[in-house]
């Protein structure tokens, strides 16, 4: 662990700490090909640099925005593919945006039902609970 190749190098735990990513998740992203296989020390320890930090942040940010692994991989392919075809990125983003909006609509429908039935509850110990009735009917 005394490799000082060029610039700052990080171990896995440091990368995790700096990105807020779970330690094991880093290995998972590597296994799934989203993160590149990092160089290793003679004893096999992974060595990361600032490029890895950026890459991981990109992935985490996309995750935060609800992109699936599959979707992120697509985005990364575009990034890695040299020519970044903005139109394609835009299209994917908008498709994802449509998904997000559909999910919001779904949840709002659910919210309405839940709020409506809960509001009917007296809170008393009555034999008929409006929520359970709503679910059963």
Partner DNA sequence: CTTGAGTCTGTAGTTGCTACAGACTGTAGC
Partner DNA sequence: GCTACAGTCTGTAGCAACTACAGACTCAAG
Binding site for DNA (CB under 7 A): 1-2, 11-14, 21-25, 27-28, 40-46, 63, 68-70
Among 47, 53, 69, 89, binds its own copies (CB under 8 A): 89
Give yes or no for residue 21 binding its own copies (CB under 8 A). no
Smallest distance from the beta carbon of 4 to its own copies, in angstroms?
27
| Total number of residues shown for the chain | 137
Smallest distance from the beta carbon of 67 to its own copies, in angstroms?
9
CA 99/CA 85 separation, integer angstroms: 22
Residue ranges that bind its own copies, judged by CB under 8 A: 54, 57-58, 61-62, 64-66, 75, 78-79, 83-87, 89-90, 93-94, 96-97, 100-101, 103-104, 107-108, 110-111, 113-115, 117-118, 121-132, 135-136
């Amino acid at each position: 662990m005394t490799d000082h190749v060029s610039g700052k190098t990080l171990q896995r735990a440091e990368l995790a700490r700096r990105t807020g990513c779970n330690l094991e998740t880093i290995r998972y992203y590597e296994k799934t090909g989203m993160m590149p296989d990092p160089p290793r020390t003679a004893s096999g320890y992974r060595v990361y640099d600032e490029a890895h930090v950026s890459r991981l942040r990109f992935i985490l940010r996309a995750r935060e925005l609800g992109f699936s692994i599959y979707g992120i991989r697509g985005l990364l392919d575009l990034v890695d593919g040299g020519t970044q075809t903005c139109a394609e990125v835009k299209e994917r983003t908008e498709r994802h945006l449509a998904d997000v909006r559909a999910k919001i609509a779904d949840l709002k429908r659910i919210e309405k039902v839940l709020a409506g039935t809960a509001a009917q509850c007296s809170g008393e110990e009555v034999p008929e609970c409006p929520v359970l009735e709503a679910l059963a009917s």
